[in-house]
Amino acid sequence: MKIRNEKKINIKKFDPLTLAVLSKRFEAVTSKMANTLLRTGRSGVLNLARDFSTSIITNDCFLLTGAESLPIHHLSGADLMAKSLLEMHPKLKRGDAFLHNSPYHGCSHPADHTILVPVIDEKGKHHFTVWVKAHQADCGNGQPTTYMGHARDVYEEGALIFPPTKVQENFKDIEDIIRLCRMRIRVPEQWHGDYLAMIGAARIGEREIIEISKEYGWKTLHKFTDEWFNYSEKRMISAIKKLPTGSSQAKSTHDPVPGTPKNGIEVKVKVKIDSKNAMIDVDLKDNPDVMPCGLNLSEGCARTGAMIGIFNSIQDSVPTNAGSFRRIRVHIREGCVVGGGKHPVSMSVATTNLADRVTNPVQRAFSKIKDGIGLAECGAIFPASMGVVSGLDPRNNNEPFVNHLFLMVTGGAAAAKTDSWLTILHAGNSGMCFVDSIELDELHFPILVKTRKLVSDSEGAGRTIGSPSGYCEYSPIGGGDIEVAYVSDGAFNPAKGTLGGLHGAASKNYLLKKNGQKEKLPACADIILKDGETIASYCTGGGGYGYPWDRPVEKVQKDVIEKWISRRRAKEIYGVVLNNKFEIDFIKTEKNRKKLSLKKH
Amino acid sequence: MRFAVDTGGTFTDLVIEDSKGKLHIFKSPTTPNNPVKGILSAFDKASEYFSISTFDLLSKGEFLLHGTTRATNAIVTSGTAKTAFLTTLGHPDILVLREGGRTDPFNFSVPFPQPYIPRSLTFEVTERISAQGKIITPLSKNSLQKVISFIKKKEIESIAVCLLWSTVNPIHEKRIGKILDIELPKIPFTLSHELNPVLREYRRASSTCIDASLKPLMTEYILNLQDNLKERGFQGRMLMLTSKGGVMDYKEIAEAPIHTVGSGPAMAPIAGRYFAKIDSKSSTAIIADTGGTTYDVSLVRNGEIPMTPETWLGEKYQGNILGFSSVDVKSIGAGGGSIAWVDEGGLLHVGPKSAGANPGPACYGKGGIFPTVTDACLILGYIDADYFLGGKMKLDFSKARKSINEHICKPLKIKLNEGAKAILHLATENMVSAIEEITVHQGIDPRNSVLIGGGGAAGLNSVAIARRLGCKELIIPETGSVLSATGAIMSELHADFRALFFTSSNNFDFKGAQRTLKKLKIKAEKFIKGTAESHLDYKIEFWVEARYKSQVWEIDLPITKNLLKTKQSVEKFRKDFDKSHENIFAFSDPNSPIEFIGWRSTVNCKIRSRPIGKIKEHKFSKSHISKQRKAFFDKKGLLQVQVIKLEDIMKNHTVKGPAIIESPFTTIVLDIGSKAIRTNRASLKINF
| pLDDT reported for residue A578 | 97
ipTM of predicted complex = 0.93
pLDDT of A28 strictly over 60: yes
Nearest to B201 among A21, A437, A451 (CB): A437
d(CA B255, CA B271): 28
Residues 6+ apart with CB under 8 A from A224: A14, A18, A19, A22, A23, A216
For residue B531, name the pLDDT band (cuts at 50, 70, 90).
Answer: low
CA A444 from centroid of its chain's CA atoms: 25
pLDDT of B291 strictly over 60: yes
pLDDT tens track for B64-114? 999 998 898 888 778 899 999 999 999 999 999 999 999 889 999 999 999
Q: Does B308 touch chain A (CB under 8 A)?
A: no
Q: Does B507 touch chain A (CB under 8 A)?
A: no
Residue from A115, A167, A196 whose CB has the most chain B CBs within 10 Å, to mutate:
A196
| pLDDT reported for residue B546 | 93
Q: Is the dihedral angle over the CA atoms A339, A340, A345, A351 positive or is it negative?
A: positive
- Give A127→chain B minimum CA distance, Å: 20
- Give A200→chain B minimum CA distance, Å: 5
Q: Which residues are registered as beta bridge partners of A527? A: A484
Residues 6+ apart with CB under 8 A from A114: A81, A99, A100, A101, A107, A131, A132, A133, A134
Q: Does A68 touch chain B (CB under 8 A)?
A: yes
**Lowest-confidence range among A54-68, A270-284, B316-330?**
B316-330
pLDDT of B156 strictly over 90: yes
End-to-end, the C-alpha distance of chain B in Å comes to 39
Which residues on chain B are in Cβ contact (under 8 Å) with A47?
551-553
Q: Is the omega angle on the peptide bond into residue A382 within 30 degrees of 0, that is, cis?
A: yes
Nearest to A36 by CA among B202, B575, B583, B437: B583
For residue A341, name the pLDDT band (cuts at 50, 70, 90).
Answer: confident
| pLDDT reported for residue B684 | 93
- Give B165→chain A minimum CA distance, Å: 7
8 Å CB contact of A199 and B553: no
**Lowest-confidence range among A98-102, A569-573, B168-172, B264-268?**
B264-268
pLDDT tens track for B120-139? 999 999 999 999 999 999 99
8 Å CB contact of A433 and B100: yes
Which residues on chain A are in Cβ contact (under 8 Å) with B129?
none
Sheet holding B83-88, edge to edge: B122-125, B83-88, B158-162, B189-191
Report domain extents, chain A. Answer: 16-233, 375-546, 550-600
For residue B532, name the pLDDT band (cuts at 50, 70, 90).
Answer: low
For residue A6, name the pLDDT band (cuts at 50, 70, 90).
Answer: very low
Domains and CATH numbers, chain B: 493-606 (3.30.1490)
| pLDDT reported for residue B556 | 85
Residue A315 region, left (φ>0) first, then alpha (ψ -120 to 50), else beta?
A: alpha
Q: Does A473 touch chain B (CB under 8 A)?
A: yes
Residues 6+ apart with CB under 8 A from A20: B436, B440
Secondary structure class of A338 (helix, strand, coil): coil
Which residues on chain A are in Cβ contact (under 8 Å) with B442?
24, 28
| pLDDT reported for residue B533 | 61
d(CA B682, CA B688): 19
- Give A422→chain B minimum CA distance, Å: 6
Using only C-alpha atoms, chain B has a radius of gyration, in whole angstroms, of: 27
Binding-face residues of A in 80-139 toward B, CB within 8 A = none
Q: Residue A177 carries which side chain, given as an amino acid letter?
A: I
8 Å CB contact of B92 and A453: yes
pLDDT tens track for A534-554? 999 999 999 999 999 999 999
d(CA A337, CA A356): 13
Residues 6+ apart with CB under 8 A from B212: B81, B83, B158, B159, B160, B188, B189, B190
Q: Does B522 touch chain A (CB under 8 A)?
A: no
CB neighbourhood size of B183 (10 A): 14
Which residues on chain A are in Cβ contact (under 8 Å) with B585?
36, 39-40, 197, 200-201, 204
Q: Which long-range contacts (CB under 8 A, 24 or more apart) does B251-256 make?
A: B251/B531, B252/B531, B253/B218, B253/B222, B254/B218, B254/B219, B254/B222, B254/B223, B255/B219, B256/B190, B256/B195, B256/B211
For residue B618, name the pLDDT band (cuts at 50, 70, 90).
Answer: low
Using only C-alpha atoms, chain A has a radius of gyration, in whole angstroms, of: 24
Residues 6+ apart with CB under 8 A from A322: A4, A58, A62, A63, A64, A79, A229, A232
| pLDDT reported for residue A13 | 61
Q: Which residues are registered as beta bridge partners of B463? A: none
| pLDDT reported for residue B214 | 97
Chain B's closest residue to A50, CA to CA, is B101
8 Å CB contact of A425 and B592: no
Mean pLDDT of B50-64: 94
Nearest to A430 among B90, B105, B110 (CB): B105
Nearest to B553 among A47, A375, A448 (CB): A47
| pLDDT reported for residue A1 | 46
d(CA A334, CA A1): 13
3-state secondary structure B272-309: HHHHHHHHHCCCCEEEEEECCCCEEEEEEECCECCEEC
Q: Does B597 touch chain A (CB under 8 A)?
A: no
How big, in percent rounded to 5, are the helix, strand and coil portions of chain B? 35, 25, 35
8 Å CB contact of A422 and B97: yes
Secondary structure class of B87 (helix, strand, coil): strand
Q: Does B90 touch chain A (CB under 8 A)?
A: yes
Residue from A15, A18, A21 whose CB has the most chain B CBs within 10 Å, to mutate:
A21
Tell me the backbone φ, ψ of residue A234, rounded to 5 degrees: -60, -45
Nearest to B130 among A50, A448, A470 (CB): A448
What angle in degrees, to the nearest 10, is found between the helix axes of A78-88 and A299-313?
150
d(CA A463, CA A551): 4
Q: Is the dihedral angle over the CA atoms A257, A260, A264, A269 positive or is it negative?
A: negative
Distances in Å between the Cα of A342 and the Cα atoms of A163, A291, B259 are: 14, 11, 59
| pLDDT reported for residue B325 | 85
Secondary structure class of A263 (helix, strand, coil): coil
Binding-face residues of B in 613-642 toward A, CB within 8 A = none
Q: Residue A496 carries which side chain, given as an amino acid letter?
A: K
pLDDT of B231 strictly over 50: yes
State chain A's mean pLDDT as an integer.
94
Mean pLDDT of B578-606: 90
pLDDT of B625 strictly over 60: no
Q: Where are the beta strands (DSSP E) in A279-396?
A: 279-283, 328-331, 388-393
Residue from B121, B550, B592 whose CB has the most chain A CBs within 10 Å, to mutate:
B550
| pLDDT reported for residue B620 | 46
CA A189 from centroid of its chain's CA atoms: 27
Q: Does A551 touch chain B (CB under 8 A)?
A: no
> pTM for this one?
0.90
* Length of chain B (residues): 688
Nearest to B379 by CA among B393, B361, B367: B361
Chain B's closest residue to A560, CA to CA, is B120
d(CA B114, CA B103): 17
- Give B98→chain A minimum CA distance, Å: 8
Q: Does A199 touch chain B (CB under 8 A)?
A: yes
Q: Are B481 and B665 in contact (CB under 8 A)?
A: yes
pLDDT of A11 strictly over 50: no
Mean pLDDT of A303-326: 94
Binding-face residues of A in 413-452 toward B, CB within 8 A = 415-423, 425, 430-435, 437-440, 442-444, 448, 450-452
- Give B129→chain A minimum CA distance, Å: 10
Secondary structure class of A452 (helix, strand, coil): strand
Residue from A33, A56, A182, A422 whose CB has the most chain B CBs within 10 Å, to mutate:
A422
pLDDT tens track for B501-522? 889 998 899 999 999 999 999 9
Q: Is B609 exposed, middle or buried (0-12, 13-18, 19+ CB in 10 A)?
A: exposed
pLDDT of A98 strictly over 50: yes
8 Å CB contact of B100 and A562: no
Binding-face residues of A in 356-375 toward B, CB within 8 A = 375
- Give A211→chain B minimum CA distance, Å: 12
**Lowest-confidence range among A145-154, A394-403, A477-486, B287-296?**
B287-296
pLDDT tens track for B321-330? 999 889 988 8
| pLDDT reported for residue B365 | 92
d(CA B585, CA A199): 10
- Give B64→chain A minimum CA distance, Å: 41
Q: Does A393 touch chain B (CB under 8 A)?
A: no
Q: Are B404 and B419 in contact (CB under 8 A)?
A: yes
Residues 6+ apart with CB under 8 A from A94: A118, A120, A124
pLDDT tens track for A551-585? 999 999 999 999 999 999 999 999 999 999 999 99
